[in-house]
Amino acid sequence: MAKSERAGDTATATGKARDGQLDAVEGEVRRPRGGGWPAVGALAAATFTVVTSEMLPVGLLTPIGRDLGVSDGTAGLTVTVTGVVAAVAAPVLTLLIGRRDRRAVLAVLMGTLTAANLLAAYAPNVAVLLVARVLVGFGMGGVWAIASGLAVRLVPERRVAAATSLVFSGVAAASVLGVPAGAVVGELGGWRAAFVAMAGFCAAVAVALAVLLPPLPTAGAVRLGGVLGLLRRPPVRTGLVVVALLVAGHFAAYTYVRPVLEEVAGARPGQISTVLLVFGVAGLVGNFVSGAGAARSPRAVLLAICAVLAAAVLLVPPMGQAAGVVGAAALVAVWGLAYGGVSVGTQTWLMAAAPDAREAVSALFVAVFNAAIAVGALAGGRAADGWGSDGVIRLGGVLVVGALLAVALGRGPARGAAAGG
């Protein structure tokens, strides 16, 4: 091709970019016509739906086990298997979907979640229920991996940080609203009714995604070599290590926060529910506060998150002993505020570390995040059995301190990369 022809092609592409028709960076088509805040809201509803679907059995384990004739531990596999499958599905699906329109892919995956929740609602035994939960993990991993990096394609650059925070607010809202709402429906109509309601919500979100999202094609498919190649980038490796340590540390301690509050602070069941609600609300606030700060400096935000989270976790037992339930509740609220920023803070770090491969790095993020949940909960159980409630807290705190050191000493994204969207 002659130089003049190449120059003409470049000028044409630049003109289209100015017109909002095309904005290509490293093979990814961005900011198509349409979209905007309604589309971002649909993505937030999608993340809310997938995380609520994942965690729905948490509030229903006892009636599920009683109805299907299995132990609470066996019923608990309905949560574990979903997280494990999601960790595998996120990178695998990102490779398999190739150049397909992300709007269509998200709608299909949400349809899969609809079918999975209906299958769970009518499962005659635990084997069928576990098959349904495998499908939930499949849909969840794909939706989260794709949706988490799309805000940059839907809103102007100056609004990307706020839009990304809104997308991730669905994760925090699932803990505050989704799981408790599922438990209430389960109390009123039985655990199967909760899964039917979840299926209906998934179907509504699938329609919203199809209607509100613009076409979202990509100029190039994600390749296995490209995903693995990201691991050779020091800032990406650092970000994934931070995700693993922070999430594992949180879940190691938070999974067993109820017995800690009961044994150390003398909390009663009604008080624990209130404390956990405060934790969730604080998490929503932390999500938006951290999202705004991470757009300017992911390292500074993650340093603050790690420091505050480590201090809050480690001080819960002594504060509970000294000041009772009120003191422990105050620290749990601080804990929620800090942890609420983990998803958006680490995702911002990783997208800034790989601005040319946002979807691939998002898939790695979701895989590590879900694997860390499983590992953290398992490690916390071992610590609880061997060291008691204080041991669980110490384990969680040590892991978060490890994340703090990784943020402080590891290679971070180039300055200004996060702000650049």
Tens-place pLDDT, residues 199-242: 999 999 999 999 999 988 775 556 666 677 788 899 999 999 99
> What pLDDT is attached to residue 226?
64
Q: Of 178, 152, 179, which is closest to residue 165 (Cα–Cα)?
A: 152
> What pLDDT is attached to residue 223?
66
Same domain, 128 and 102: yes
Residue 66 included in any domain = yes
Same domain, 215 and 288: no
Measured distance CA(236)–CA(40) in Å, rounded = 25
Same domain, 358 and 282: yes
Out of 221, 250, 279, a domain closes at 221
Out of 189, 221, 253, a domain closes at 221
- C-beta of residue 328 within 8 angstroms of C-beta of residue 197: no
> What pLDDT is attached to residue 279?
86
> What pLDDT is attached to residue 408?
94
CATH code for position 195: 1.20.1250.20
Measured distance CA(305)–CA(310) in Å, rounded = 8
Measured distance CA(318)–CA(229) in Å, rounded = 45
Q: How many CB atoms lie within 10 A of CB 304?
A: 19
Distances (CA, A) of 272 to 22, 44, 141, 265: 51, 28, 31, 10
> What pLDDT is attached to residue 357?
81
Residue 19 included in any domain = no
- C-beta of residue 137 within 8 angstroms of C-beta of residue 83: yes
pLDDT < 50 positions in the chain: 1-30, 419-421
Out of 221, 256, 281, a domain closes at 221
Residue 3 included in any domain = no
Same domain, 232 and 353: yes
Same domain, 187 and 132: yes
Same domain, 362 and 257: yes
Measured distance CA(165)–CA(300) in Å, rounded = 17
Instruction: Report the DSSP beta bridge partners of residue 24.
Output: 29
Q: How many CB atoms lie within 10 A of CB 224?
A: 12
364 CB burial (10 A radius; 0-12, 13-18, 19+): buried
> What pLDDT is attached to residue 316?
87
Distances (CA, A) of 182 to 48, 58, 272, 421: 13, 9, 18, 36
Helix, strand, or coil (residue 256):
coil
Measured distance CA(276)–CA(282) in Å, rounded = 10
- C-beta of residue 80 within 8 angstroms of C-beta of residue 200: no
- C-beta of residue 109 within 8 angstroms of C-beta of residue 97: no
Domain span at 285: 223-421
Q: Please name the residues in contact with 340: beta carbons below 8 A apart, sequence gap of 6 or more.
A: 172, 282, 283, 284, 285, 286, 287, 290
